[in-house]
């Protein structure tokens, strides 16, 4: 099994088009202190030939072009990408479906909650369900990842619920605003290849770590986890926004309730932060926050990073 980090930034990418914060200034200068990043997405393969995307970033065309294993065969139309798994309905995870519409067969996996959001917005019908079948994920039920024609891709997966929230555009009046969610709004994905002892978990959005999640992650080979913010209120403090991380459905990295502390106990061989917001100081190579994350055993993902679980 191989994992490619296609995009490691949160929604808006890095640098964000309308942001002049210190991080974005470094990225635009290209001075080596903060590398530019596209919006969060991952590709995974079990056989080196057929790939599944984990989320469809708005930057998906650029990401596929930047990674030769995902290129079409010479002189032909086609793609080694055989499907997409959606972890929630956030725009930075589903908007790329619109760029995959060129009548290319692929499977689209999502929970019923997310599939309903796609159905309710008819623009997503440009990805013709007859060519790109939509397959419902049942929580906690292992399933074999398959291409659009039912062919096996050599990987088994399971979708599991994580604390999160409905996308801002689809907040449920019955739940109310804020980080509350219903099962299926936000999920993590665990994937195993032929060597079932090696487990890879992808959780790009998470509002809190509960005991069930800690237990699930024990013994994982590679964990890609939500790294949106360093401090819960960092966007407010920097004058970059009005919402806390919790309001957006993301826990922070630091502090006694942050992800570094919350995930210190599980035995995880390799820990990598993904989905990193442009405001997060860990984007800077020489920041104290980057050093603190590294000292705690965490890596900071970058576009093009390749991992073998």
pLDDT by 10s per residue, the chain, length 309? 999 999 999 999 999 999 999 999 999 999 999 999 999 999 999 999 999 999 999 999 999 999 999 999 999 999 999 999 999 999 999 999 999 999 999 999 999 999 999 999 999 999 999 999 999 999 999 999 999 999 999 999 999 999 887 776 666 655 555 545 677 889 999 999 876 678 999 999 999 999 999 999 999 999 999 999 999 889 888 888 877 767 778 899 999 999 999 999 889 999 999 999 999 999 999 999 999 999 999 999 999 999 998
**Token pair recorded at residue 39:** 């919006």
* Dihedral-angle region of residue 12 (phi above 0 means left; psi in -120 to 50 means alpha; beta otherwise): left
Tell me 286's DSSP state: T
Q: Does domain 2-307 have CATH number 2.60.40.1180?
A: no
Residue 236: per-residue pLDDT: 86
pTM of the model: 0.93
List, in sequence order, every beta strand (DSSP E) within the chain: 2-7, 41-45, 51-54, 81-85, 107-110, 134-136, 143-146, 152-161, 187-192, 199-203, 222-226, 270-274, 298-300, 306-307
Tell me the C-alpha distance between 59 and 147, whole Å: 22
Identify the three-state secondary structure at position 262: helix
pLDDT score recorded for residue 181: 63
Identify the pLDDT of residue 247.
Answer: 77
Q: From its phi and psi, is residue 32 left (phi > 0), alpha (psi between -120 and 50) or beta?
A: left
d(CA 296, CA 144): 34
Give 208-213 contacts, CB < 8 A, sequence gap 24+.
208/163, 208/179, 208/251, 208/257, 208/262, 209/163, 209/251, 209/259, 209/262, 209/263, 210/163, 213/162, 213/163, 213/188
Q: What ranges do the domains of the chain cover?
A: 2-307
């Amino acid at each position: 099994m191989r994992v490619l980090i296609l995009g490691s930034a949160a929604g808006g990418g890095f640098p964000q088009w309308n942001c002049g914060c210190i991080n974005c200034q470094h990225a635009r200068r290209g001075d080596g202190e903060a590398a530019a990043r596209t919006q969060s997405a991952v590709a995974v393969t079990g056989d080196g030939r057929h790939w599944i995307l984990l989320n469809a970033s708005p930057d998906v065309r650029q990401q596929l072009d930047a990674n030769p294993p995902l290129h079409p065969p010479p002189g032909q139309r086609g793609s080694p990408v055989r499907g997409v798994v959606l972890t929630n309905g956030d725009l930075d995870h589903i908007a790329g479906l619109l760029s995959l519409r060129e009548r290319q067969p692929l499977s689209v996996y999502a929970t019923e909650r997310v599939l309903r959001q796609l159905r309710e917005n008819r623009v997503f019908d440009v990805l013709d369900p007859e060519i790109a079948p939509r397959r419902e994920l049942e929580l906690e039920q292992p399933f074999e990842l398959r291409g659009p024609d039912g062919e096996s891709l050599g990987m088994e997966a399971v979708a599991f619920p994580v604390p999160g929230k409905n996308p801002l555009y689809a907040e449920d009046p019955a739940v109310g605003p804020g980080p509350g969610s219903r099962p299926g709004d936000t999920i993590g994905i665990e994937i195993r290849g032929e060597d079932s002892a090696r487990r890879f978990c992808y959780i790009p959005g998470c509002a809190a770590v509960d005991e069930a999640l800690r237990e699930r992650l024990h013994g994982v080979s590679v964990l890609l986890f939500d790294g949106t913010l360093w401090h819960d209120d960092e966007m407010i403090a920097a004058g970059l926004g009005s919402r806390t991380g919790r309001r957006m459905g993301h826990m922070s990295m630091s502090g006694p309730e942050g992800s570094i502390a919350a995930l210190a106990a599980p035995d995880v061989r390799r820990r990598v932060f993904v989905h990193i917001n442009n405001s997060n100081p860990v984007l800077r190579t020489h920041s104290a926050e980057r050093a603190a994350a590294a000292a705690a055993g965490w890596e900071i993902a970058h576009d093009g990073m390749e991992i073998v679980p």
